Structure 1
Amino acid sequence: MTISILEAEARANRHKATLDQAKGKRDLLLQQKTQKEAELSKVTQNIATWEQVQLLLSHSSQYAREQLKQKIEETVTAALRSIFEDPGISFAIELGQSGGSATAEWQVISSYQDYTVAANPEAARGGGVTDVVSLALRLSLLELARPKHEGPVILDEPGKMISREFLPNVAAFLKRYAEKTGRQIIMVTHHGVLADAADVAWYVTQEKGVSRAERIGGEV
């Protein structure tokens, strides 16, 4: 059977369109896979932070536990209110006992005009509440640890899951933390808002396996 050149071209174009469509689906799936892996990494990091807080509370005496609880609640509440600009939001730890060991349940409390809603950070309202809680808990652990840890704070994508509208507040919160504690913050971020808030910022690119860094702000 013979076919004309025009028919052959038409078939080739149909095959190409089918191939392009398949490639598009593959690229989308790969993008979704990368996003889910990043989300899983963030969740795993959050769980590790909460487990450290749980361990700290369980190994403390009752008096010390209450003091730690109050300090952590104050720090996380301040972070939530500062970043989300909401005086009706707060963080609470409910202490208990299970099998002879101290337990701690986390709650993000949102107070409205006629009612109050308390939920686990994972189930709290959107905008990145879980990320803010996790960030504040890590900073709390760093300041409450004894003996006290010295040196800089290294943050990897601290605003990754936080809504863009709140990123300027995240930057302001981190600057206040650095000023209050005297700690240097070294941060890796893809968000220009956070990079612009730094005293010194470097833009890193990679081409053919070679990384290049260019200073884009601040003074050395």
Structure 2
Amino acid sequence: MNVKDLDIYINQLDKDINIEKGKKEVISKNLKEVSKEINNLVEEEELLSKVMILFQKTSEYGRLQAKTQIEELVTKCLQFIFESNIEFQIEITESRNIPQAEFYVVSHYSDGYSVKTKPEIARGGGVVDIISIALRLAFIQIHKPQIEGPILLDEPGKHVSDDYVFNLGEFLKQASKMFRRQIIMVTHNTYLSQICDKSHTINIKDGISFLEKVEEVS
């Protein structure tokens, strides 16, 4: 290779080196921008993770507050009506990020042992009736925004034995006063119809319902 060809080769090599340097500078600049964007995304992800944790904790706190309020109200209702050391418990679990609740009744006895059962097998159908009434009252009271209007009950305490119907009636009267809500109920129970402020007697004749009498009880 002569000197002229060597000069041409060196010049071409310098051009190639300058081109590669230019590419390197572009790549370095792009790398810095990408790194900066990655750092921003990481910071954003960390922030979103913290917000998600906060939401989860807030949600858990809200569920815990509602759970505690419902358990307390239903437990007091059961204890008032059945005059025994009975407790209502809610167990909350999650399946596929969806909260699920199981209801239990715990009966505590004087000799120190307790029995935990599902409501439907605890002391017959009367317990289920009372829990149903208490749950309605609890949900209405803790619901946000607050639900206005009266409470409608269809045959409340239908399976409650006569031994506890008086207590049920007293509980409904106290609940109406405490929560300042009118309770409108349909019942075939004579005692429950007599504890109301106003009692309407409905009878059916030839398939037609008609109002027989209105009685001012209080």
Separation in structure 2 between the aligned mates of residue 190 and residue 93 of structure 1, nearest angstrom: 32
- Is the counterpart of residue 85 in structure 1 residue 121 in structure 2? no
Amino acid corresponding to residue 131 of structure 2 in structure 1: V
- Is the counterpart of residue 97 in structure 1 residue 117 in structure 2? no
1:127–1:84: structure 2 CA closer, same or farther, 3 Å change rule? farther
Structure 2 equivalent of residue 107 of structure 1 = 104
- 1:125 Cα shift? 1.8
Please state whether the residue corresponding to 1:61 is helix, strand or coil. Answer: helix
Any conservation in 2 of the 1:109–1:116 contact (CA below 8 Å)? yes
Counting only pairs closer than 5 Å after superposition, residues 198-213 of structure 1 correspond to structure 2 as 198-213=196-211
- 1:183 Cα shift? 0.5
Separation in structure 2 between the aligned mates of residue 167 and residue 181 of structure 1, nearest angstrom: 21
Separation in structure 1 between the aligned mates of residue 147 and residue 98 of structure 2, nearest angstrom: 27
Please state whether the residue corresponding to 2:138 is helix, strand or coil. Answer: helix
Once the two structures are superposed, residues 89-147 of structure 1 have per-residue CA deviations (whole angstroms, 9 ceiling, x without a partner) of: 01011122222222222110000123100011012122600111111111111111111
Alignment RMSD (CA, Å): 1.9
Counterpart among 124, 132, 135 of residue 133 in structure 2: 135
Separation in structure 1 between the aligned mates of residue 145 and residue 211 of structure 2, nearest angstrom: 36
Structure 2 equivalent of residue 171 of structure 1 = 169
Separation in structure 2 between the aligned mates of residue 196 and residue 211 of structure 1, nearest angstrom: 21
Higher relative contact order (CA 8 A, sep 6+): 1
TM-score (norm 1): 0.69
Any conservation in 2 of the 1:157–1:189 contact (CA below 8 Å)? yes
Structure 1 equivalent of residue 37 of structure 2 = none
* Alignment gaps of 5+ in structure 2: 1-57
Any conservation in 2 of the 1:196–1:217 contact (CA below 8 Å)? no
Once the two structures are superposed, residues 53-91 of structure 1 have per-residue CA deviations (whole angstroms, 9 ceiling, x without a partner) of: xxxxxxx810101100000000100110011111x1010
Structure 2 equivalent of residue 158 of structure 1 = 156
Counterpart among 137, 145, 170 of residue 143 in structure 2: 145
**Which structure has the larger Rg?**
2
Separation in structure 1 between the aligned mates of residue 176 and residue 110 of structure 2, nearest angstrom: 34
* Alignment gaps of 5+ in structure 1: 1-59
Report % sequence identity.
Answer: 43
Q: What is the number of equivalent residue pairs in this alignment?
A: 161
